[in-house]
């Protein structure tokens, strides 16, 4: 099950006089990631590289920022993928210490910086939700509300007209079971419409 992290986590490594300052934080999209990277470059004008990796749905990225190709962004992205994370940005600011690390040394340094930061992370499971809407006779409104509460659904909207229209969200894995229970309890008197995935 994919996870995200609750708050930013940091770690700093010094390897052969080079400083690697890592941060992993929640991030929804590439625009947000690029804003964070720009801010880091402004905060660390003396840094040689600000490498980053983003896992955010179809907006994933791996950027080496001048390091040899494949030695920074991709290894950082691999750490995020290996830990089944989603909606996270990893950044590493590198201050070069004068000693070249070689491609293998760079891969290890960027991988370790991100992995060490993630040891401190509070991970949260990402629960996919589904929004449903049903039309309910007034006589059944109380029963439907009790079922929604028992299922852990979140009521989003209620409209009272000729019948009661209820919109609610719940974990995707529980949706089919709840619909079946409500249909049984309502003896076919509930009307479903406008389901969103």
Q: How far is CA 118 from CA 51, 128, 176, in A?
A: 17, 23, 35
- Residue-wise pLDDT for 127-179, tens only, equals 778 888 999 999 999 999 998 888 888 888 899 989 999 999 888 778 888 88
- Residue-wise pLDDT for 12-48, tens only, equals 999 999 999 999 999 988 899 999 999 999 999 999 9
Cα-Cα end-to-end distance for the chain: 18
How many other CB atoms are found less than 10 A from the CB of residue 173? 11
pTM, full prediction: 0.69
Question: Does residue 1 register a pLDDT over 80?
Answer: no
- Residue-wise pLDDT for 81-137, tens only, equals 999 898 999 999 999 988 889 899 999 999 999 999 999 888 888 777 888 899 999
How many CA atoms lie less than 13 Å away from 42 in the CB half-sphere?
Answer: 6
114/92 Cα distance (integer angstroms): 8
pLDDT for the residue 197: 39
Question: Does residue 196 register a pLDDT over 50?
Answer: no
pLDDT for the residue 194: 57
Sign of the CA dihedral with 125 first, then 116, 8, and 26 last: negative
Is residue 119 packed enough to be buried (19+ CB in 10 Å), middle (13-18) or exposed (0-12)?
exposed
Q: Which tokens hold the place of 17?
A: 């006089």
Contact between residue 19 and residue 80 where contact means Cβ atoms under 8 Å apart: no
Q: Which tokens hold the place of 43?
A: 């905060």
- Residue-wise pLDDT for 43-82, tens only, equals 999 999 999 999 988 888 999 999 999 999 999 999 999 9
Nearest to 6 by CA among 91, 87, 127: 87
């Amino acid at each position: 099950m994919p996870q995200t992290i609750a708050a930013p986590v940091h770690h700093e490594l010094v390897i052969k006089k080079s400083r690697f300052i890592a941060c992993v934080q929640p991030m929804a999209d590439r625009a947000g990631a690029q804003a964070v990277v720009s801010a880091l470059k402004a905060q660390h004008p003396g840094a040689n590289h600000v490498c980053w990796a983003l896992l955010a749905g179809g907006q994933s990225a791996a950027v080496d920022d001048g390091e040899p190709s494949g030695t920074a962004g991709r290894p950082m992205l691999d750490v995020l993928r290996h830990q089944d994370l989603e909606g996270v940005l990893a950044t590493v600011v590198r201050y070069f210490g004068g000693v070249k690390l070689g491609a293998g040394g760079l891969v290890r340094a960027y991988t370790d910086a991100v992995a060490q930061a993630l040891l401190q992370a509070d991970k949260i499971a990402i629960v996919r939700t589904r929004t449903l809407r049903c039309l309910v006779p007034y006589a059944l409104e109380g029963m439907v509300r009790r079922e929604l509460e028992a299922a852990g659904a979140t009521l989003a909207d209620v409209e009272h007209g000729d019948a009661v229209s209820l919109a609610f969200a719940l974990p995707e894995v529980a949706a089919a079971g709840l619909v079946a229970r409500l249909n049984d309890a309502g003896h076919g008197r509930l009307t479903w419409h406008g389901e969103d995935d």
